[in-house]
Amino acid sequence: EIVLTQSPATLSLSPGERATLSCRASQSVDTSLAWYQQKPGQAPRLLIYDASTRATDIPARFSGSGSGTDFTLTITGLEPEDFAVYYCQQRRNWPPWTFGQGTEVEI
Amino acid sequence: QVQTVESGGGVVQPGTSLRLSCAASGFSFSRCSMHWVRQAPGKGLEWVAVTGRDGRTQYYADSVKGRFSISRDNSQNTMYLQMDSLRTEDTAMYFCARELLGSGYLDFWGQGTLVSVSS
């Protein structure tokens, strides 16, 4: 099973700042990695897949990069609605599909 | 409009059973693999099970293997999760999610149904 480790656990930032979230895989997942956003009381939403492809209707301020074992989600210019929990997920080796433990971006 | 509506959650005692449903609309259900993902209160996401497009293939997380069974009825655009021998650690919000074009990524999620296992 591929283990995904996200860091930091919590990121405290202000609107307008840049957020940089990390996801590290226990073995290579090539570029088979996605990022999801989850707000309190809501279902997760797919933001990025294949490490760097934005999903439908996702704003350009969200970008993903990386390959192999190290990945980054960058949010350039945080908007108030971006404060949420973010999860990475791999689809390289399945089952199981695995998620990271999450990074909370807080004000 | 793509929509999935989960139902069937509730409060049950350990050792009992529950059947969750996920009713889909607004897309070609039979062309999509479908997953169940759960989230314990205050915790992260845990993948539970997947069913292939025709329902002939299923995979499970080790934590539920042998106790949970995933199925689908493409004529009714509905997916199910039969949960037997429930444990307190199965307490979670259960989401159904659509897989994006066979990609392994989950591009649409329902709002979830809450399962609470408690004595």
Distances (CA, A) of B84 to A84, B46, B49, B65: 34, 18, 14, 10
Distance CA A60, CA B9 (A): 37
State residue B6's pLDDT score. Answer: 97
State residue A17's pLDDT score. Answer: 97
Mean pLDDT, chain A, whole residue set: 97
If DSSP codes are grouped into helix, strand and coil, which group holds residue B106? strand
Distance CA B52, CA B70 (A): 10
A65 pLDDT band, cuts 50/70/90, is very high
Q: Which residue of A has its CA nearest to B43?
A: A101
Mean pLDDT, chain B, whole residue set: 97
Q: What is the pLDDT of residues A2-27, one digit of tens each?
A: 999 999 999 999 999 999 999 999 99
Distance CA B83, CA A59 (A): 38
Which pair of tokens denotes residue B113? Answer: 């149904």
Sequence-distant (6+) residues with CB within 8 A of B28 are none
Contacts of B62 in chain A (CB under 8 A): 96
Nearest alpha-carbon partner for B49 in B30, B33, B29, B26:
B33
Contact predicate A48/B107, CB 8 Å: no
Q: Which residue of A has its CA nearest to B113?
A: A43
Which pair of tokens denotes residue B78? Answer: 């509905």
B114 pLDDT band, cuts 50/70/90, is very high
Distance CA B25, CA B19 (A): 20
If interface means Cβ-Cβ distance under 8 Å, which residues of chain A face chain B?
32, 34, 36, 38, 42-46, 49-50, 55-56, 87, 89, 91, 94-102
Q: Taking the CA of residue B114 as centre, how many other CA atoms within 13 Å lie in the half-sphere pointing to its CB? A: 6
B95: contact with A, CB 8 A cutoff: yes
State residue A69's pLDDT score. Answer: 98
Contacts of B100 in chain A (CB under 8 A): 46, 49
Distance CA A82, CA A87 (A): 13
B102 pLDDT band, cuts 50/70/90, is confident
Q: Which residues pair with B82 in a beta bridge?
A: B19, B69
Shortest Cα distance from B46 to chain A (angstroms)? 7
Contacts of A100 in chain B (CB under 8 A): 44
Express as a percent the part of chain A with pLDDT over 90.
Answer: 98
The pLDDT of B76-86, averaged and rounded, is 98
Cis amide prior to A8 (ω within 30 degrees): yes
Q: What is the pLDDT of residues B2-57, one digit of tens each?
A: 999 999 999 999 999 999 999 999 999 999 999 999 999 999 999 999 999 999 99
Radius of gyration of chain A (CA): 13
Sequence-distant (6+) residues with CB within 8 A of A95 are B47, B50, B59, B60, B61
Asked if the model's pLDDT at residue B101 lies above 90, the reply is: no
Q: Which residues pair with B10 in a beta bridge?
A: B115
The pLDDT of A31-49, averaged and rounded, is 97
Among B35, B44, B103, beta carbon nearest to A101:
B44
Contacts of A88 in chain B (CB under 8 A): none
